[in-house]
Structure 1
Amino acid sequence: MILAGLAACATPFKADVSRYQTQLPAPQGESYYVVADDPALAGGLEFAQYADLVEAQMARLGYAQAGSADDASLLVRFDYGVDNGRERVRTTGFHDPFYSPWYGYRSPFGYRSRLGYYRPRYYGSRWGYGFYDPWFGGPEVRSYTVYTSGIDMKIDRAATGERLFEGKAQAVSTSNRLQYLVPNLVEAMFTDFPGNSGETLRISIAPEKTTVRRID
């Protein structure tokens, strides 16, 4: 019996990023401070680690970091989380007329679109609901867990409380490790920041590097 550590070839999952803004001010003369939108996270070491990521992105845009919330002209409210996951079942190794390696499983019944006609309904996707394991052949049914993670970010005018920006980034993946998910979601949030108000983008996020053990 031989155990060999092998790097897993995973497919990137994708983040859906929705952003809304009024008139976000230019960086010149503005300062910011990142605070926890959830009071339960305030003062925590984990929150501070992820707040550093947001601060680095704000600094990259040219905004100056204030020494405290009282000294800032902009308050950046930040929150993050991942759900408890849900089980998925996938069968591989034989021809299934309702399985597509690109989209996952589809229903023969389809759904009605806004334009009034039917399209196939797909269950799962190549980035979030499954993966291909090359080490096992033949028909196989396997169960695995997928998780939905997300971050919320709001920017308010500190003096008046006026909301200037709201953004959400969510993703589905087979990882529930916030240490991996949050940095990628923050990067997705600040891609082409602040974006077009009301537009939702799908942004690819690098797969997590994992180890597969093969038993011979």
Structure 2
Amino acid sequence: MKALLSACILAVSTLVVGCGTIIRSDVTTFHEWPDTLADKSYVFERTKEQNDSLEYKNYENLVRHELNQLGFSEAPSGTKPALKAALSYSINGRDVREVYPVVVNPYPYWYGPAWRGYYGPFYDPFWFGPPVVEQRVSQYHLFNRQLRVTLARMSDSKKLFETTVVSEGTNGSLASVMPYMVRSAFTEFPGKNGVPRHIELKMD
């Protein structure tokens, strides 16, 4: 019976922890990255819609920062870069309904012998018998957030690096989550080829 109580408490605790400020992302990278790359200059390749989007420019700046941290450099205007970078992103949501067990007090008020004074069953959960477990329902909106970044050779458009970041959570603000998704995309660059990774980053 104690095992049942512990399992129920653990289930509730897991739900509470899941509501913290941790951004969890699943990252899958495919690459044919050369052992040496003398010229790491790049330029962003944008669609017409991206050129007109202030939101895109904000996310592009995040990718630019990560590339610069890795030793890449954006090519000055009028020069020919060795690489071209591209990014795309999306977010969509769905309603989720979860049923989970909760341990409840079957005796909310009880007065013991006079010398014991008043106390509730939480002092002795097995005084009257096993605990009562009720099923509770939780409903919320879950968002699926995706980011895709590619690096290709400028000369022949051959892709050298392609990574996809998928993150799910209740935060529907893509702008607040994107910095952590971009960081996840370049963690351990270029990363293991074709090996999915689970990355967790704490929000500042």
Residue 68 of structure 2 corresponds to residue 72 of structure 1: no
How do 1:112-151 residues align onto structure 2 when only pairs under 5 Å count?
Answer: 140-151=136-147
Which one-letter code corresponds to 2:96 in the other structure? R
The corresponding residue for 2:7 is none
Is contact 1:33-1:75 (8 Å) kept?
A: yes
The corresponding residue for 1:90 is 98
- Cα shift at 1:28: 3.7
| TM-score normalised by the chain length of structure 1 | 0.65
Is contact 1:157-1:164 (8 Å) kept?
A: yes
How do 1:35-74 residues align onto structure 2 when only pairs under 5 Å count?
Answer: 35-36=45-46, 39-68=48-77, 71-74=80-83
**Aligned residues, how many?**
157
**Structure (1/2) with the larger helix percentage:** 2
Q: What SS does structure 2 have at the residue aligned with 1:94?
A: strand
- Cα shift at 1:27: 5.4
The corresponding residue for 1:201 is 197
The corresponding residue for 1:185 is 181
The corresponding residue for 1:173 is 169
1:15-61 deviation line (CA, Å, top 9, x unaligned):
1101011134645432011233x542233211111101111111111
The corresponding residue for 1:127 is none
1:141-164 deviation line (CA, Å, top 9, x unaligned):
331000110100111101111111
| Cα distance in 1 for residues equivalent to 2:76 and 2:148 | 23
| Cα distance in 2 for residues equivalent to 1:20 and 1:68 | 30
The corresponding residue for 1:213 is none
Q: What SS does structure 1 have at the residue aligned with 2:102?
A: coil
5+ long unaligned stretches in structure 2? 1-17, 104-133
Is contact 2:89-2:147 (8 Å) kept?
A: yes
Is contact 1:33-1:68 (8 Å) kept?
A: no
Which one-letter code corresponds to 2:75 in the other structure? A
